[in-house]
Amino acid sequence: MPIPEVIEQVRQLRTQLVDTDPAVPDAASLVGHLDNVLVEPAHPPRYEGLGDRLRAVSASIESSHPTLAASMNTVINALSAAGV
């Protein structure tokens, strides 16, 4: 089960994605996935595939949005530590 810190990190990442200008490629889809997680954040199946999607987007934006990429990596690590 995701711990409250992971859920908060997902919320913060969602806010960062929405506020990033210029927009990140695939941001709308990623925000949709984060919204799906936040509908029922204590339900682990909602997180399925999130780490992989974050890894892919993070790698593609590392040079253009380094702070956002770092935030994504933080969430990836937190998800892994929480076992989701």
At residue 66, the pLDDT reads 94
- Residue 26, token pair as written in the block: 């695939």
What's the pTM? 0.89
In terms of residue numbers, what domain contains 62?
4-82
The Cα–Cα gap between 2 and 26 comes to: 25
pLDDT of res. 1? 59
| φ and ψ of 11, to 5 deg | -60, -45
Between 84 and 47, residue with greater pLDDT: 47
Per-residue pLDDT of 23-43, as tens digits, reads 788 888 999 999 999 999 988
Tally of structural domains, the chain: 1
Are 24 and 65 in contact, with CB atoms under 8 Å apart? Answer: yes
